[in-house]
A and B are shown apart, each in its own frame.
Chain A
């Protein structure tokens, strides 16, 4: 199932003659200069109100900025429109911003600026997002090399035991500083700016109700027990009320994409584990689904069932842990978290037996899964699933009607789903505000079509509804798991063909998305027909959901902002990649 690209092209060409410059596979190349008006038309007239993915790709002679838009109208939900604009000038690369049309472009355009050096005209706050101001160059450009650069493609020649490399030299030995640093020509260590990346602690006095007041800026993080890792937010406070909030990310930027472009297609699977490390199984799921779509590969039935079982177990664990962390932030120090970790251990034992690894499973393969499971494993899995079912009840008994919890969370962080869509928020947070949008339903992948499950929704999108949403979704996952465990074929292949150590993916590019426990996890992949991706981009739902944090928090107390952050459910490994 795909969108009728011809019809879209015709409609766009009627409204804007010459708007579609070119058609490239499933992608439309649009006119760069008229992008804002075309985008407004796409959103208002054609119903593409949901911009989920903005990224870029570097080709030798030009840069491409790619966009993926979807619709939330019930009749148009499903596959979306992929379009791009071409930037011929590499030195002075400029594209008009679409932030004014879709706010979800905000962080993503900043990331493109950071990584590719494409300037977005009219962007409200175009600063580096993952790296720091002063960084030399734009690292995802193909002509940019880091200090430890060795070769473009793995496996590196020096790692082979050829007679000519009897003693491979380590990266440290190849760099003068014996460390991963380089200083550009002309860098003057006498005269450079350390660069204050924080606002002044006290802003000028303002008068409120006849009283002189000093607004205070408070730094929360990157070392803070409630920021879920190395996340930092700069909170402007008036008394204890949040007046503005700036997320500062990038403290865990581990260069997934640069490294991913060097890895073999298979070699990226273990790296995806380390994206959202709360639910590694589902990250792998997203990646292999994307590569299989490029290859047009079928997956054997038993492997599909195993994939769904692993993925949904990961979803239940993710939701329980999120609830545990969230209560930690509400002051129920440790107990719900320890309950959640106990359940995680049961699931991890299953994962460990199937994949060999406790936490970073590396279980999914392109065209199947790594290993089969025994009947005993399935029997144990059934027990764990019914245990999880009971435990969700237990969580509900303990927490749902808790008066302190209700008074802390009702109405906190509420946002309408229309606004969330504009911010690009996906996943349980979006559904808790009332929009029934689940990629397992609207654009099914794997064998999700064959399962009977509902997409629960709630009304207000406040912290309480997000909690109830996660409980309801965990219940639906249990429902899927029970069906999958009943219907899984007793025997059968778990790989499509032989488990190849090296995969060649035909020329092409695609954006593929799945319903990750935290939202829409997408992979934008470009292949030049080789053994490694030409471009590998992760559409991180955590980063994009964060864009709405300020709007959700303003007007609430600082203590509530922490809770709102917890209820958005971020993992820094994926925010920063």
Chain B
């Protein structure tokens, strides 16, 4: 049997051949539904990007879904506060795989102008795996669209045979931080917090500076 494929004359020009993975990526990247989710100022530009002038509907993204179950992409559009971050992580955990995260603007990326604030989490990447960071305060809609393009490119390059959501093992959930005590508690730090509180010599439980790197 030869490897050559013969295309009948009447179908010439109508058949194209690609890899399954590419077709899979191509199909997914143009049906990326963002979550209807806004945090702060950036959310207005997120909406402006979806409105008439910038019209992200051109890439199949006009259908913003309010429910995390129906969304593929969460745009962290604004300042992440300690009071809000448990809810954001819960929303992320409620999204179905495959899912993507864009950190939009300076605040979501690293705290931005409000970084020193006592209620501000300096960057959503402490809790969520971020795929694309979009700089700006706030980013222009063009900037956000460039971020969407980067997500598209990432999706296009994912191969169907090694994506984690077809693996046997479930994908671990993001750890939901706890709020209600004196401060935000990262469950991954729980043991360390216990150890430090019990250590007799620890005078300041919070602000002890770290040794400078050599």
Contacts and interface: CB of A to CB of B under 8 A. Distances in A.
- Bound pair: A and B? yes
Interface of A: 130-136, 139, 146-150, 169, 171-190, 192-195, 197, 222-225, 229-230, 250-255, 258-259, 262, 270-271, 274, 277-278, 337-338, 341-342, 344-345, 358-360, 572-573
A181 B183 contact: yes
Interface string B57-89: 000000000100000000000110111100100
13 contacts: A134-B182, A136-B183, A147-B207, A178-B210, A180-B115, A180-B122, A183-B181, A185-B205, A187-B205, A255-B117, A259-B117, A271-B113, A358-B140
Nearest to A255: B117
B190 to A, nearest CB: 6
B180 A195 contact: yes
Contacts of A572: 40
Across chains A and B, which 9 residue pairs bring their CB atoms closest together, nearest first?
A182-B206, A255-B117, A341-B51, A146-B118, A277-B41, A195-B180, A136-B182, A194-B180, A254-B114
A252 B78 contact: yes
B197 A147 contact: no
A134 B196 CA distance: 20
A549 B75 CA distance: 30
Contacts of A130: 119
Contacts of B209: 173-176
Contacts of B43: 229
A250 B53 CA distance: 33
A573 B79 CA distance: 10
Given A252-B81, A255-B120, A181 B184 contact: yes
A187 B181 contact: yes
Contacts of B210: 173-176, 178
B137 A131 contact: no
A276 to B, nearest CB: 10
A250 B83 contact: yes
Contacts of B204: 185
Nearest to A346: B53
B146 interface: no
B87 A171 contact: no
A341 B183 CA distance: 39
Contact of A344 (B48, B120, B140): B48
Contacts of A133: 180
A538 to B, nearest CB: 14
Dominant SS at the A interface?
loop
Nearest to B39: A230
A134 B180 contact: yes
A189 B183 CA distance: 11
Given A174-B210, A229-B39, A182 B205 contact: yes
Contact of A342 (B53, B140, B189, B207): B53
Interface string B83-97: 110010001000000
A179 B209 CA distance: 12
A169 B117 contact: no
B168 interface: no
B131 interface: no
Contacts of B82: 132, 180
Contact of A150 (B47, B116, B118): B116
B114 to A, nearest CB: 4
Given A229-B39, A359-B45, A360-B41, A342 B197 contact: no
Number of contact residues on B: which range applies? 35 or more
Contacts of A135: 182-183
Nearest to A135: B182
Interface string B21-62: 000000000000000111111011101100111000000000
Contacts of A192: 180-181
A277 B44 contact: yes
Given A171-B115, A182-B206, A255-B114, A132 B180 contact: yes
A172 B205 CA distance: 15
Given A174-B209, A181-B206, A225-B66, A259 B114 contact: yes
A345 B40 contact: no
Interface of B: 36-41, 43-45, 47-48, 51-53, 66, 78-79, 81-84, 87, 91, 111, 113-122, 126, 137-138, 140, 178-186, 189-190, 193-194, 196-197, 203-210, 212
B84 A252 contact: yes
Contacts of B87: 222-223, 251
A573 B185 CA distance: 25
A400 to B, nearest CB: 22
Given A148-B116, A277-B44, A359-B138, A254 B81 contact: yes
Contacts of A186: 197
A49 B179 CA distance: 40
A254 B119 contact: yes
Nearest to B137: A360
B51 to A, nearest CB: 4
A149 B185 CA distance: 19
Contacts of A274: 40-41, 113
B175 to A, nearest CB: 13
Contacts of B194: 189-190
A270 B113 contact: yes
Given A134-B182, A182-B183, A187-B181, A225 B117 contact: no
A329 to B, nearest CB: 12
A135 B83 CA distance: 11
Contacts of A190: 194
A18 B48 CA distance: 58
Given A183-B205, A338-B51, A146 B41 contact: no
B103 to A, nearest CB: 16
Given A190-B194, A252-B78, 16 more contacts: A134-B180, A149-B207, A171-B116, A176-B209, A183-B183, A183-B196, A189-B193, A193-B180, A193-B181, A251-B87, A254-B117, A270-B113, A277-B41, A338-B52, A345-B52, A360-B41
Nearest to B91: A223
Given A180-B122, A183-B197, A194-B178, A131 B206 contact: no
A97 B107 CA distance: 37
Nearest to A194: B180
B207 A182 contact: yes
For B52, B84, B91, the residue with the greatest tally of chain A CB atoms inside 10 Å of its CB is B84
Contacts of B38: 229-230
Given A277-B41, A360-B41, A258 B118 contact: yes
A254 B140 contact: no
Nearest to B114: A254
A345 B47 CA distance: 12
